[in-house]
Amino acid sequence: MDNRRAIAPVTAALLVLAGATAGPALAAAPPAARPHPHARALAATEPGAEDEAAERQRIVDRTTDALTTPKRFRLKRGGPVLRSVPGRPDKDTNYLGKGNSNANMNEYNDFARNPGRSQWCGYFAAAMWGRRGVPADSGSSRAWRTGVGDRWHPYAADDLPLPGDVLMWAGRGTAGHVGVVAAVSGTRITTVEGNTGYHKDSIARQRYEWTGAGPVLKDRTKTIQGFASRF
């Protein structure tokens, strides 16, 4: 018997079998998902990661302090300086006024010595940032979009802000508005904002969904534009 004839079919079969078993092992693994461009946890080894995380926490801590401790305000220009009572009318509010005063004169807008500073949500946001990295005209909500360079992020449902960022809404024939992000859980965004809530003269905690067309203010006269970041 010619042994070469017997070996040839076996060798061919082994080669076929080897190819069948090796195929899946050699198949390319699916590409890894790309990290989110903004809303991601900073790696511990990334330069500046600890500094950024610490500063974001300081911003959040300032919002907690603003919401839960007495803040100074006046009821009329040049009048006595009063202190707010946090938690009235509810735990999410620190009303910087009395009765229906709606004076909009407080420690964040220099007690509105300049009447043009009566809309104070931007000044509040600047104070929460420690007045570092803020737009030159921080009292203008528009400046939080146009005055922070590449730290501005236009609204996109898949680009969530991080705690410490500032959301910005543009008004339709009215002034815009800004608020500081205090927490993010899934698509639920919690903010602390000035010049809002009770009599629109309060520091208040608000909650929004970062889905669809984006966060909607209660008065529905403003449209979300995006957010500014300190980093």
Query: pLDDT averaged over the chain?
Result: 84
| Beta strands, E only, 45-140 | 72-73, 82-83, 93-95
State the pLDDT at residue 99: 92
Nearest one of 60, 55, 105, 102 to 82, comparing CA atoms: 105
pLDDT: which is higher, 7 or 126: 126
Nearest one of 194, 216, 192 to 205, comparing CA atoms: 192
Q: pLDDT of 189-221, one tens digit each? A: 999 999 999 999 999 999 999 999 999 998 888
State the pLDDT at residue 18: 39
> Taking CA 204 as the corner, what is the angle to CA 199 and CA 208, rounded to the nearest 5 degrees?
110
Contact between residue 196 and residue 108 where contact means Cβ atoms under 8 Å apart: no
Average pLDDT of the segment spanning 93-106: 95
pLDDT: which is higher, 36 or 53: 53
pLDDT: which is higher, 96 or 219: 96
Distance CA 66, CA 93 (A): 10
Domains (range + CATH), the chain:
49-228 (3.90.1720)
Average pLDDT of the segment spanning 117-122: 93
Q: pLDDT of 147-171, one tens digit each? A: 999 999 999 999 999 999 999 999 8
With pLDDT > 70 as the criterion, what percentage of the chain qualifies?
80
pTM over 0.85: no
